[in-house]
Chains A and B, each alone.
Chain A
Amino acid sequence: MSQALRDKLLVGDGRFGLFGSELDRARAGLKNRINADQEELEKGLAQLVMTVIELLRQLMERQALRRMEGGTLTDEEIERLGKTFMALSERMDELKRTFGLSDEDLNLDLGPLGNLM
């Protein structure tokens, strides 16, 4: 941890790189705006598509959780849904690794509305 960062730490020990993602976020945010590099185009497209998929995945998962808690799903349905979401989550992790993307990359800054996720 740099001295500048240490000076900013008021409580806690700043372990496990809690601040590191700020830099990733800044880089990701800037890439979104200026990325016209041909080589990066594929990654940029993958990022865009995966952001949409991740949003849908999270929305559907929340809906499933609500329905599970509301008792409107049978045990078989819960089991099937859970397995689907688990597989989807693992597949997304694989794709993120393939394209070198982090969780923060699959977020969208919506300006005054805040972040998408």
Chain B
Amino acid sequence: MPVYLYAICRADRAECANGESLGERVRIVTSNDLAAFVSDCSGVPVASETSLWDHERIVEALMATRDLLPARFGSVLESDLAVDRVLADRRSELTDALRHVAGAVELGVRAAWTTAAGEHRPEDQPRGGLAYLRARAADQERGLQIAAELDRAVGAFVRDGRTRISAPVATLTATYLVVRSQIDRFCKRVELLRDQLPDVELTCSGPWPPYSFADPGAR
């Protein structure tokens, strides 16, 4: 029977703490010193806002009392045996990843700025090729500048980070692995940067399970 994967943790941390309940559906599959939280399912679920939040709530509840590697929404494996195989085959990689995320959460930062190239619309006056390429170069440059500013602002408070600049729509998506005690400092830095960059829409969200720093999902 297919099983839906929520998260992976160390086997000795999988047992429920006092008063903690996994709910009716979630159960534990153990393989050596690793364990996975799963539930029986009939296949890949339909992605909707409700189903995404359901997944999120279960993973967050599990994360409240232990370090874990969260699975992305929709991670389905063939059976308990397949889960066991993933845990066994990727044991060393998963153990390292668990060590990496210990005591930390993921914070997301998104930035959007006015794009020079994107301002052009087909219905506008035709524009020269040189102007277009210059605008694209300017967009790229601005994205790199914002990424550097962001890293400078929060770099001291993060354990790890991933940044992606999307030039055609002029947005930057960054995810950071932040120790819980540093969340407030991190946010203050983002707020400061927001004041310093009035032309950039900056948003910070979290705390999230460390999705970007551990992907044990079915592939």
By a beta-carbon cutoff of 8 Å, the part of chain A in contact with chain B is 2, 4, 8-16, 18-19, 22-23, 26-27, 29-30, 33-34, 58, 61-62, 64-65, 68-69, 75, 78-86, 89-90, 103, 111-112, 114-115, 117
Q: Is the CB of A103 within 8 A of B166?
A: yes
Q: Is the CB of B44 within 8 A of A30?
A: yes
B57 to chain A, nearest CB (A): 8
Given the interface pairs A10-B205, A11-B204, A61-B136, the reply to whether A82 lies near B131 with Cβ below 8 Å is: yes
Scoring A9, A16, A79, A86 by chain B CB atoms within 10 A of each residue's CB, the highest score goes to A86
> How many residue pairs at the A-B interface have CB separations less than 8 Å?
113
Residues of B within 8 A of A85 (CB): 129, 132-133, 136
Given the interface pairs A82-B128, A117-B166, the reply to whether A10 lies near B206 with Cβ below 8 Å is: yes
Q: Is the CB of B129 within 8 A of A115?
A: no
B162 to chain A, nearest CB (A): 7
Q: Is the CB of A18 within 8 A of B47?
A: no
Complex CA gap A65/B206 in Å reads 36
**How many residues of chain B get a CB closer than 8 Å to chain A's CBs?**
48
Q: Is the CB of A65 within 8 A of B204?
A: no
Residues of A within 8 A of B194 (CB): 11-12
Residues of B within 8 A of A10 (CB): 107, 183, 187, 190, 204-206
Q: Is the CB of A75 within 8 A of B130?
A: yes
Complex CA gap A115/B129 in Å reads 29
B25 at the interface (CB under 8 A from A): no
Q: Is the CB of B202 within 8 A of A11?
A: yes
Given contacts A82-B131, A89-B168, 13 further A-B contacts (CB under 8 A): A4-B53, A11-B191, A12-B203, A12-B204, A15-B201, A16-B201, A18-B201, A23-B47, A26-B52, A62-B140, A69-B137, A86-B129, A86-B132
Complex CA gap A80/B129 in Å reads 6
Complex CA gap A65/B128 in Å reads 15
Q: At the interface, is chain B mostly helix, strand, loop or mixed? A: mixed
By a beta-carbon cutoff of 8 Å, the part of chain B in contact with chain A is 43-44, 47-49, 52-53, 56, 72-74, 107, 110, 112, 117, 120, 122, 127-133, 136-137, 140, 162, 164, 166-169, 171, 183, 187, 190-191, 194, 201-206, 208, 215, 219
Which of B48, B74, B127 is the one whose CB lies under 8 Å from A86? Answer: B127
